[in-house]
Structure formats: C-alpha cells, structure tokens
Amino acid sequence: MWPRDPDPFIPVVSPPEGHDRSAAWFFVFLRGELLCISEGGIPRPITGDEYKWLDLTISTELFLGTYENRACFVVDAVGSVPENYALAGLRAWLGRAAPNVFYLAGRAQQLLDWHRDYRFCGRCGAHNQDHPVDRAKQCPDCGLISYPRISPSIIVLIHKENEVLLARNAAWPTKMYSTLAGFVEPGESIEQTVHREVMEEVNLEVGDVSYLGSQSWPFPNSLMLGFHASYVGGDIVCQDGEIADAQWFSLENMPQIPPKTAISRWLIDDYFNSIK
C-alpha cells in the first residue's frame, strides 16, 4: 500500500520550549545498532523515563522533531547493553515495527551518520558548526553549507503480460528476489536511469515507464523512486558480480519477496492487483 497519507512527523532543528522530555522518544545507537525494548516481538524506541536511567556514555544527542506531538531524539552512545534491552540493526525493524516508526528510525540513523561524517568542511578542512536555522553544517572559514546527504535512486518492476521480472542480488540471501534498482548518475533524468539500470543489470529493453511513488530507504541514505515498465525486448543476461539470478515469475510461482513495508513489494502487489 502506498503511503499517501501525511506523515505525522514534523522535522524541527531545535526542541520547542517546555517539551515533555519524559514522554520523548530516544533512538539510541550503540555500536551502530539500535538499543530497544521489544513488546510482543515488536521493537520500539526508548522513552524519556527509560532513557534517564541508562548507564551509558552519551557522545551525541540530536533533536529530530516531533511525532504526534512527542519530541524525538537520536543518540550515539558507548557502553554495555542494559538488562531487559536488546540491540538490533535497522533492518531488523523492517516489517516488525509500525511503518511510520521504522521510517522515523531510518531518519534518525541517517541524521546521525551525517552528523558523524560532516564534522569537518569538505572544501577547506575547518571544523564545521551547526547552521543556526537549517538542518545543515556550515564552515566558519569558507562558508560552505552541507546538508544531509540524500541519494536518489530508481526501483522498477518490469512486467510482461501476467509475469514480472524479479532478480536476486549477488549479496542477498539465496532465496530472496526483488525488483531492480540503482542510483541516479550525475546528468541523468530519472527515466534515463531506469533504462540504463535495466540494460546494465539484465540486458533488457523496456518501455511505458510510469512513476508510482517513492520511499525513503535508509540503507544508507536513498530516496527510492518507484516505477513500472513494460518489457520490450532482449534476453536476460545477469550483470556479473551484481545480479546472481533473474527470472520471470507469475503470481502462482512467486519466490520469497520483500515484506510489505518495502517499496519493491508495493510495486509487485500494485501490478498484480491491476491485472486481476
């Protein structure tokens, strides 16, 4: 299902005066993974009341904004996993946490990574400062402003009558198949990227490229732009070292595919629903 409803999260650089810190959510990262409490197998962020009792060394605390009027922070910490808590990578939240909470955790991870990676100016090497108004880093010497990095990429479902083309990335588990995807090159239009990536990865020509929607994908900082495209011609030739296998599948013989939280699954479900 495409997330067309407004996001209840409001990004803000500084916390509002008088916000209730005890009710806030804290996305605490420890050794690159999220520290969380699991309730019925569903991970959730740490509340302010829980956060104040954690015996951790805090190196970074950034304000993200508000989610349904609840203040949200991301924290980078050092220490041991407290009793009754667990560590899990962000991918472990995919399909388990509520979609909006997963996207918020992804936002937290991306902003924390950006904060770590842009401490120094990429032009002159001076120590960056926080921009006074925007979510940005500003160099006090040369004035260069660096915003959080977002990498646009395409993800496309190729269809042929009642079949869709799904592929398995060479780095994925052996049973998982998904749609094709790739990053936009400088100077390309999004549509040009679709044609180039499909040709590079599976040697096929496509047409009738249609845009369906987008998804923030925090692995590490992608904005996935989702498309359907019809098969025009060519035989499948998998890109060496990138695509381990690619096949045509009908609804009756589908392989293991991503969960409903992922845009690739939205593309697949949307197409089969359209031809029923």
For 38-58, the pLDDT digits (tens) are 888 889 999 999 999 999 999
Q: What is the pLDDT of residue 17?
A: 84
Q: What is the pLDDT of residue 51?
A: 95
Report residue 99's pLDDT band, with 50, 70 and 90 as the boundaries. Answer: confident
What are the residues whose beta carbons fall under 8 Å from the beta carbon of 50, sequence distance 6 or more? 26, 37
Percent of the chain with pLDDT over 70: 98
DSSP states along 28-53: EEETTEEEEEEETTEEEPEEHHHHTT
> Which pTM does this prediction carry?
0.89
For the domain 151-274, what is the CATH code?
3.90.79.10
Residue range 247-258: mean pLDDT, rounded: 96
Q: What is the pLDDT of residue 74?
A: 98
Residue 176 bridge partners (DSSP) = 256
Q: What is the pLDDT of residue 271?
A: 96
Q: What is the pLDDT of residue 168?
A: 96
Q: Are 90 and 218 in contact (CB under 8 A)?
A: yes
For 164-205, the pLDDT digits (tens) are 999 999 988 778 999 999 999 999 999 999 999 999 999 999
- Give the separation between CA 6 and CA 104, rounded to whole angstroms: 14
Q: What is the pLDDT of residue 23?
A: 92
Q: Are 65 and 12 in contact (CB under 8 A)?
A: yes
| Paired tokens of 95 | 């399909």
Q: Token pair 């496309």 is at which residue?
A: 156
For 113-164, the pLDDT digits (tens) are 999 999 999 999 999 999 999 999 999 999 999 999 999 999 999 999 999 9
Q: What is the pLDDT of residue 2?
A: 58
Q: How far is CA 60 from the centre of its chain?
A: 21
| Paired tokens of 169 | 């990335």
Higher pLDDT, 63 or 98: 63
Residue range 66-79: mean pLDDT, rounded: 95
For the domain 9-115, what is the CATH code?
3.90.79.20
